[in-house]
Amino acid sequence: MSRVPGWLGRVGSRLTEMSERLDERRAEVERERAESDASPDPSVDRVPPPPDYAPAVSPRPDPALAVPWGMRVAAEAGWRLLVLAGTLWVLMRVISAVQLLVLAFAAALLITALLQPTVARLRRHGVPRGPATALTAILGFVVIGLMGWFVTWQVMENIDNLSGQIQDGIDELRNWLLNSPFHVTDKQINEIAKNLREAVGANTDQITSAGLEGVTVVVEALTGILLTVFSTLFLLYDGRRIWEWTLRLVPAAARPGVAGAGPRAWRTLTAYVRGTVIVALIDAIFIGLGIYFLDVPMAVPLAVFIFLFAFIPLVGAVVSGALAVVVALVTQGVFTAVMTLVVVLAVQQIEGHILQPFILGRAVRVHPLAVVLSVAAGGMVAGIGGAVVAVPLVAVTNTVAGYLRAYSQEAAVRHAPKPRGSTASDAAVSAGEAPPAPAPAPDAAG
């Protein structure tokens, strides 16, 4: 009996050892199976490592970092310039499509800038807005209409005498050429006259079509005049509300800067128009007196033409002066033409070096190169109207850009970290700048 329990104990211990070994083997098999599922067969997919003697391969750099810095900057600036050029091209196409409307509104702005001080003065004397606007507009358009009527009347009254004087002037010019040191012969002069007659005869159809197109031009001119009149009336009467409505179209973040730039742009435009009118009037008076005392026919209409052409900077003075010299040449001879040229050049030199800097001042000063380029660009885009509008547009743009640059610098100073206990004005003073004072909205109605 004593041997049975011992035997049973040994059998039990043997069974326990076998069970533990089976568990270990089962765990080892499960672990190998999990590793085989997680990693592919090394004999199929695994790439053998390179030998020790193979050269080391560095990783490829980022393509953006492989491009030189200067080329990256040029590319960034290039595509932005292309976007700006495309935007300007689309804008020019739109302006060309509605050229009459744009020129009429631009002319209305210029006339409003000229008449608005009168409306403001009448309102300060107690005249209501409506009567002040109506009275100023009527007087302004009556003066402009009388000028046009006077020029037409003078030309029609003197056209017969002028044609005879022109014929006499041509004969005198022909005799002068025959006796001049240029050795011009009578045969050469007759040949030139014959070529001119043949050119006129060969282009009769084009001249006729140009005359028919003149009817369309007259209709477009009348339409533009009506649009200009109505736009001027509304700008004089309700300019402030129009400006406030325009400000609502500007994003809120940029609205304070635009609201401050608007009054300065309007003051620049007003100063430009007022100064140009004064300078043109002085040119017309003194050149008109000069050619009147030289007995040049139609001195008064020529003076009016000089006044109107003065609104085209540089180019207008040259064209109007050349017109006066040509009329003097064909009607009074070479000596009178030379004296007319002296008068025109003297008045224009006084205007350019004394009157314009004194009257226009620094607010609307534009470099002569910018004037020439802007007049040329405006003439190519929209003809005479574009040449008239180009320079005030450049002057206003210069004023707006300068103010926005100063405003952005002041905003940067105002939002910069400040020492404890300092204010925004202290920071502006420490930066050497004064914050721009808030300006009211431009009031075209006074």
Sign of torsion over alpha carbons 292, 326, 381, 357: negative
Select, from the ranges 33-37, 201-205, 303-307, 433-437, the one with the highest average predicted confidence (pLDDT).
303-307
CA 324 – CA 288 distance, rounded (Å):
9
Looking up tokens 């807005």, which residue turns up?
Answer: 129
How far lies 156's CA from each of 160, 231, 284, 323, in Å?
A: 8, 32, 21, 18
The pLDDT assigned to 431 comes to: 45
Cα 210 from Cα 200, distance rounded (Å)? 13
Q: For the chain, what is the mean pLDDT?
A: 74
- For the ranges 86-90, 183-187, 203-207, 280-284, the lowest mean pLDDT is seen at 203-207
Counting residues of the chain whose pLDDT is more than 70, the rounded percentage is: 67
Task: Please state which of the ranges 201-205, 237-241, 302-306, 323-327 shows the lowest mean pLDDT.
Answer: 201-205
What is d(CA 427, CA 412) in angstroms, rounded to the nearest whole number? 10
Contact call for residues 265 and 402 (beta carbons, < 8 A) = no
pLDDT bracket for residue 76 (50, 70, 90): confident
Mean pLDDT lowest among 50-64, 69-83, 202-216: 202-216
| DSSP secondary structure letters along 413-424 | HHTS---TT--H
Residue 404 has pLDDT above 70, yes or no: yes
What is the C-alpha end-to-end distance of the chain, expressed in Å? 133
Residue 20, pLDDT > 60, answer yes
3 state DSSP class of 35: helix
Residue 405 pLDDT greater than 80, yes or no: yes
- Residue bearing the bigger pLDDT, 133 or 49: 133
pLDDT at residue number 82: 92
- pLDDT of 325 > 50? The answer is yes
Does residue 163 surpass a pLDDT of 50? yes
- Tell me: pLDDT of 399 over 60: yes
> How sure is the predictor about 276, in pLDDT bands with cuts at 50, 70 and 90?
confident
Which two three-digit tokens encode residue 226? Answer: 């009506």
- Judged by average pLDDT, the poorest of 156-165, 210-219, 418-427 is 418-427
Give, in degrees to the nearest 5, the angle at Cα 357 between 351 and 360. Answer: 100
> pLDDT tier at 189 (50, 70, 90 boundaries)?
low
Percent of the chain surpassing pLDDT 90: 2
Planar angle of CA 147, 153, 154, nearest 5 degrees: 90
d(CA 86, CA 79): 10
Per-residue pLDDT at 429: 44
| Range of lowest pLDDT (105-114, 134-143, 330-339) | 330-339
Distances in whole angstroms, Cα of residue 370 to Cα of each of 63, 107, 271, 349:
43, 21, 19, 19
Query: pLDDT, tens digit, for every residue of 208-252?
Result: 554 445 557 677 778 888 888 888 888 888 888 888 888 888 888
The answer on pLDDT for 426 being more than 60 is: no
Chain centroid, CA 81 distance in Å: 16
Q: What is the pLDDT of residue 171?
A: 66
DSSP 354: I
pLDDT of res. 435: 45
pLDDT at res. 434:
44
Sign of the torsion formed by the C-alpha atoms of 248, 252, 258 and 263: positive
CA distances from 126 to 129, 138, 140, 231, 374 (A): 9, 19, 20, 25, 42
Tokens of 312: 């085209």
